Chains A and B, each alone.
Chain A
Amino acid sequence: MSVTLVSGVPGVGASTVAAEAVSELDEYRLFNFGDAMLEAAGVRGIVESRDELSELSEGEQSALQRYAAEYIRDEASNGPIVVTTNFAVRTSHGYLPGLPDPVLHEMSPERLVVVEAKPETVAERREGDEYRDYPEPTESGIRFHQRMNRTAAFVYSSRSSATVHHVPNEEGAEEAAEKLTQVLSQ
């Protein structure tokens, strides 16, 4: 079982980087942790859209995280997977760990990848994204969230013995995807 978790603040392009890397590696499959949470929430009639997930109570989110982690664990038993997720989740109640201990234990990641760019670059990308709405437009907010992600990654590493990898996405997704591909091929 090989699980690689990839995270970055909203708008940094972590999903695009992960998608491009996986498309170059036949043995890997790509999942998104939020997709699994959304499926579990939809089946239970809790939310109808992705945006509503961050508005749920801490208890509701924890339960959905457990469902998603179990799903990811099952999928990983069929071959190596890359999962895009949030190491630190910004909710209306404050920041929460995206991977509480039971969730981390369930998925047993082998690698933790942090995708980053300069806060001003992320802010620019957010402004240029016509599809998604972003809740935190300030550069200081983005900087803080990126620091939270780094901190969270190292905490998760100390609890799971997964290795932490840094993938800068400053120049463009293609270059970052190449770096991620190298990490996945190690």
Chain B
Amino acid sequence: MRIPEIRNLIVREIEFPVSCNEVKETIGDVCIETPLGSEEELDDVLGRCGAREFKSADELYDAVVGNVSGEHIGRKKYDDRGPSLGQDEVSF
């Protein structure tokens, strides 16, 4: 499951407020992946999260996005479509 799909999962499976442990019990075994192919279980992601309770879907979703491992983060300013985003092309 890609990260943006997690929101639909949260909306369908979780009622708020909810404890972090309840989230782990309900959907902790779901694997999240990046477009680059790496993946990890939601249980591990939430294990790195300091929150004990989530009051809304936004709060839980942000906790997931904020705690995915470094493998989910690509090379700084890398773009697979040519010149890097936000940078002027430089010719040497």
Contacts and interface: CB of A to CB of B under 8 A. Distances in A.
Given A39-B4, A43-B35, A45-B78, A132 B73 contact: no
A59 B86 contact: yes
Contacts of B47: none
Nearest to A84: B7
B91 interface: no
Contacts of B34: 39, 43
Contacts of A151: none
Q: Is chain A's binding surface mostly helix, strand, loop or mixed?
A: helix
A57 B66 CA distance: 23
Contacts of A36: 4
Interface string B30-41: 000011100000
A45 B62 CA distance: 17
B3 A39 contact: yes
**Chain A interface size range:** 20 to 34
Contact of B4 (A31, A57, A60): A31
Given A39-B4, A42-B72, A60 B85 contact: yes
B11 A45 contact: no
A19 B8 CA distance: 8
Contacts of A45: 73-78
A60 B77 contact: no
Contacts of B8: 22, 29-31
B17 to A, nearest CB: 12
B74 A44 contact: yes
B48 interface: no
Contacts of B7: 30-32, 35
A46 B75 CA distance: 9
Nearest to A30: B8
A112 interface: no
Interface of A: 15, 19, 22-23, 29-32, 35-36, 38-40, 42-46, 48-50, 56-57, 59-60, 63-64, 71, 75, 131-132
Given A30-B8, A39-B4, A44-B85, 9 more contacts: A19-B11, A22-B12, A29-B8, A31-B4, A35-B7, A43-B72, A63-B79, A75-B5, A132-B58
18 contacts: A15-B57, A23-B12, A31-B5, A32-B4, A39-B2, A42-B72, A42-B74, A43-B74, A44-B74, A44-B75, A44-B79, A45-B76, A48-B73, A60-B86, A64-B85, A71-B2, A131-B59, A132-B58
